[in-house]
Structure 1
């Protein structure tokens, strides 16, 4: 008997060593049993309470809320989560209230940690311009650590919506227009937030949003309807969500929009058929703010009671601030309009995450003031923000080697409404702090040059000015300088949620200010700070040096100064296409060809083209310059035909042919030449970010397999079809350096 027990123990040990999934599954089963044991003890009202989320509305010194009903609901166990409560002390105080409830079920605290918590990182679209997945993951990792140290369990990020329309203000919150790049970034950000897994004290739950297709809102207008084919939905808009799920995302958030006439919040196809059905999602779905109740003005529900019924049936588990579930679900169950099984399923999903976070073992485990103090004042975190900011900058133009600036310059004029701004560097959807300190461009240059160079300054105009009264003073300052650095663009609240714009040109008279300074004959460097692609044709055509610096966060000025002086060689690439004119929008690189394609910008006769403007954008997806140059040569394919279960190895030589060490983002595009569904003219299918010293060469390798050749066919099946393919490797979607062809056979 003893021998048998020993043998069994040894076998079990081997199982754990050889198959760690066995141990993982055993832990899942253990949590499920705990969830069921709690669920059996709960009343219907307590169950519905777990599906209810309120926001805190306290000030720095006041109570948690001015609403006595909220306080009572917390103590009565009628609340599953709160958002906008932060800080070790504050979250502990609220959790103590929840511990007064009969079941003593802990609350989950959520916050919009979009691009940093205490340390602000570049806006997500800017981070996407880095094409640096390791740094993107680390930025989310820092935000996760800081948030967790402040008692927060849950962030409402990442936003993984594909954005092809820069009029839509929320493009600043995403990763741009491309499905492949967006999927890679979605995966990295989820991994960053959740670290080594829920339950660790430096990990928070990610919330993938907005499910689904929110980025395709008609006319780029926030909250507007979305109307698209199932093929476009599956091919372009759903893959980043699936990638985030594959990364282990704990929660999802539905979107405000209707999809083909059905609000996403009440959309069974999205939430039950796809997410919880086909994809097997085990976490929970939270509504976006008030979106359950908003099905009433949509005209999909007659009142909040019906909205609650439609939402819970469709798969929305938690009601964020619409006050629809708490007052109505109980009655709907009694009327047999909603089954208790649906309620139990939603509650199980919420409770499971609370167990995974370890909150049942210790409700206060994240509310640790000592850990908070240490994490929120970390020099390491500021360095991470600086590094991410440097990598996010995109060099758009550098004629006559205007950049990098010489360190022997005597006088630099810093001109523009954003030159000394700190607040705007923080960008939209950032966490506000009293006495926050961000580094402006002017301060960053001061830190860089010390007393070696004199800095001159003039604002010139305000961001949205119609007056040119400040131009004369700015011109006089420019005339005294060896070079002029101009900071123009948007205020922090001009891009973001509910910040859609029909006119996306540089606001006010700022471009007129650029013209006036350019007329002085002084060398001019224009820095454009914004949350979306802007239109600035005159500047693009006439100024020698342009950098797109977005909103870069806490270390913005230091990062920009490092790039201006060449201490960091810019390597960013655009994650979105920049149009010449708003009339081209939506515009993106991976469009479908027509039966009458235009061969060039002058080929307009009975072609798919504009009569009054070129088809091509001003700056393409994947575009971005460096202070050095790169040569692509010696392309080799291991074979020119491959079977379905085969692969092709690709190699070529990349050489840094310039005088600066630098990084190149090598981009691999494919075109399926003919298929059962018309395919895009090119699609990004792989990329590498490669660091090379000046003069250094390196062999670069990629692999093409069936997965890279697959797409959703007419039956919405993910499959590859035999045929001919074009391979394109380059430095931007419109700057292909190497080409070849190969075939996929049966």
Structure 2
């Protein structure tokens, strides 16, 4: 087994590598001043490219998983043999790799980089990447949970801390943020993005890019951000991971492409292509998508990397004949860098020599990659982010833990609170029941490579700390995630009978959400449902604490509980943050970024659906109208829904004018009043509906939102401003247009609430 210790000699060799680098031809070329590429000019990069062999060029376009993985990455990408890491170092020295991902921190990076900088012919620094999705060592809520905060500045701050920690461990580049619109909750990767709404997705995409990339990519606390997965991965048929996507170009442009564009406009340096096909063409081989739209229309200047073996997978999909053909198709489509499959290293040189791929196009891709390496300062100092002492010094600092608690608090959504059961008194006798009471498990959530559940504050610890010296807490698991426990229900019922209130902690495990975790039935597993029904029969008041990475169809005793908190996977400070909400130390302020359906069979369900010509009017189902046999075509808990400990009342809607000029702006306002006895944070949401258009429009579309803090008895006026551009849609020629006519408008607390409602007319030009 390879030693994972860094000796004093190794550290000295690292210093020797720096000296070797400073004297190398690459250093001389790339330490010329430039305004557009950091210290490396285009001319100096071109000089390097001229000196490279075809094999070395292909190596700069080849990224592999680290043979010495870090944390959970060891299980995800285990070395194939004991000599895996030494062999990988030799590949890097020979110019066969541009870098590796998900490695074992600064120790791994130091060994690889010093070998390349001291022994390789070109001495081009490696780049180190990782899946830093919702935190590095300090873990923040999963993406969809953080989006529930409706606070993009929070996402920017958590991404900033994640970058600070990750860059301290030798990482230059993160495969985040994921910005796919998720409108089918069967899809496991819902947890990674920002939900179903376009505007929310766009705003959070930009915020996370800015957080990861910071003020300057060359700073040693910043990472290259990656917008993924390009494109429309969240629209996979049946919510089945890796499945095809079949969309009209209009829907693609109007809904799915916009968050990617927002992230790129915010400066994202890289883009990752997606696994899915769109209308029969795999994304990795889609020239229109990768080159004509991304580069041509949007002007993207960074590089595109395939997802893990995504290019090679075109073979099984029936789009490429073999590995050589897959390399040719993906590269000519516009994918600059191949991840993990090795098809570029294996076949690009031969494809160039056979005249099937222009060498000038290979040079352009290499140029983009080298420019990115220059932008993050690797040509100035290949060891910029590799520092063993800094790695430890930056990990889980007090300000990071405090931010983890704040972000977790703001991510929790209270969807139900009958009889003001919450907040609880800390002097109550509490029975904490359910499989989510287990310590060290299912707390951080999916897609955590470097975090440790053992370091996360679990639910029992958080609640016990909150009631210390006042009430009492008994903890009973009651059931497993998927399986009953012998005697578990009996023990849970006994605990419930002795308590004043039951906290029922149920939901999904980390392995039930995330990549490759599609579900046909998005309900609570039967073993947990049976536990809930038994506990409910005791007659004790129940607060359901859901742990989940997607919207769920709630049933029976869980659905009927008087109080329900949606807590997602909250990360490092999960237990503290949940207790803060339960006992009123902090009021709930989160809102749902995804719609909770009545039934699994409603999927895909999203609030911005079309009315159809036979919409069911308000009230019970009517014959031959749009509804299922079992339920109406609406949500149990809609997008934007969330309660506070205050009582917020919306006043009437005020418009600056009932007739908006073509080139004018319209101000829409209402007054919010907190008539409760506790402070409240309200999320006022602006929705529109175009009544008649050349393309039928959704029943509602959110255009903006504001978070408003209200003291008891306080009133505040919220104002939104609309322009003609906010009323545009993709027309019959797939171009953005606005049309004069009547519009409904709401300022409301959710996509199904009336709130303050009115209408206006957009006048013709």
**Do both proteins adopt the same fold according to a TM-score greater than 0.5, normalized to the shorter chain?**
yes
Q: Secondary structure at the match of 1:493?
A: helix
1:60-99 equivalences under 5 Å are: 66=84, 69-99=87-117
CA offsets 1:253-273 (integer angstroms, 9 cap, x no match): 000011100000010011000
Q: Counterparts of 1:359 and 1:107 in 2: how far apart (Å)?
A: 8
Is 1:668 paired with 2:686?
yes
When the two chains are superposed, the root-mean-square deviation of aligned CA atoms in Å is 1.8
Residue 605 (structure 2) aligns with: 587
In the alignment, structure 1 residue 355 sits paired with structure 2 residue 365: no
1:111 corresponding residue in structure 2: 130
How far residue 601 of structure 1 moved from its aligned partner, in angstroms, is: 4.9
Cα distance change on mapping 1:65 and 1:219 into 2, 3 Å: farther
- Compare 84-93 and 569-578 and name the one that shifted more: 84-93
Residue 695 of structure 2: aligned partner: 677
Which residue of structure 2 lines up, in the alignment, with residue 3 of structure 1?
none
Q: How does 1:29-428 map to 2 (within 5 A)?
A: 31-58=41-68, 66=84, 69-99=87-117, 100-409=119-428, 411-428=429-446
Superposed displacement of residue 82, structure 1: 0.7
Q: Is the 8 A contact 1:113 1:430 kept in 2?
A: yes
Contact 1:121–1:552 (CA<8 Å) still a contact in 2?
yes
In 2, are the aligned partners of 1:57 and 1:84 still within 8 Å (CA)? Answer: no
Provide, for residues 391-419 of structure 1, a one-character-per-residue CA deviation record: whole Å limited to 9, x for no partner.
0111011111110001332x211111111
Q: Secondary structure at the match of 2:253?
A: helix
Gaps of 5+ in 2: 1-32
- Tell me the TM-score normalized by structure 1: 0.94
Q: How many Å separate the matches in 2 of 1:59 and 1:147?
A: 15
The residue that corresponds to 1:645 in the other structure is 663
- Out of 454, 462, 487, the residue aligned to residue 505 of structure 2 is 487
Q: Distance in 2 between matches of 1:431 and 1:541?
A: 34
C-alpha contact 1:570 1:627 (8 A) present in aligned 2: yes
Deviations 1:36-74 (A, max 9, x none): 222222222111110001111226799996165423210
The 1:24/1:405 distance shift into structure 2, 3 A limit, reads: farther
8 Å Cα contact 1:604-1:611 kept in structure 2: no
Secondary structure in 1 matching 2:204: helix
Give how far 1:697 is off. Answer: 1.4
SS at match of 1:426: coil
Q: Which residue of 1 aligns with 2:552?
A: 534
Name the stretch that deviates more: 40-49 or 346-355: 40-49
What are the within-5 Å matches in structure 2 for residues 479-518 of structure 1?
479-518=497-536
Consecutive unaligned residues in structure 1, runs of 5 or more: 1-22
Distance apart, 1:539 and its partner CA:
3.2
**1:174-230 Cα shifts (integer Å, max 9, x gaps):** 111111111111111111111112111111011110000110111111001111110
Alpha-carbon distance change, 540 to 461 in structure 1, aligned in 2, over 3 angstroms: closer
Offset of 1:542 from its aligned partner?
2.2
1:603, CA displacement in angstroms? 3.7
Tell me how far 1:345 sits from its aligned partner. Answer: 1.1
Secondary structure at the counterpart of residue 294 of structure 2: helix
- For structure 1, which segment, 118-127 or 531-540, has the greater mean C-alpha deviation from structure 2 after superposition? 531-540
Distance 1:303 1:288 in 2: 18
Pair 357,65 (structure 1): closer, same or farther in 2 beyond 3 Å: farther
In structure 2, C-alpha distance between the alignment counterparts of 1:29 and 1:97, rounded to whole Å: 23
2: CA distance between counterparts of 1:67 and 1:26?
Answer: 36
**For residues 562-594 of structure 1, what are the alpha-carbon distances to aligned partners after superposition, in whole Å with 9 as ceiling and x for unaligned?**
000001100111111111112111111001121
Are 1:548 and 2:566 an aligned pair?
yes
Tell me the SS of whatever aligns to 2:510.
Answer: coil
TM-score using structure 2 length = 0.92
Q: Match for residue 624 of structure 2?
A: 606
**Contact map agreement 1:441 1:560 (CA 8 A) in 2:** yes
Give the secondary-structure state (helix, strand or coil) at the position aligned to 2:754: strand
Deviation at 1:27, TM superposition (A): 5.6
SS of aligned partner of 2:524: coil
Indicate the larger mover: 247-256 or 685-694.
685-694
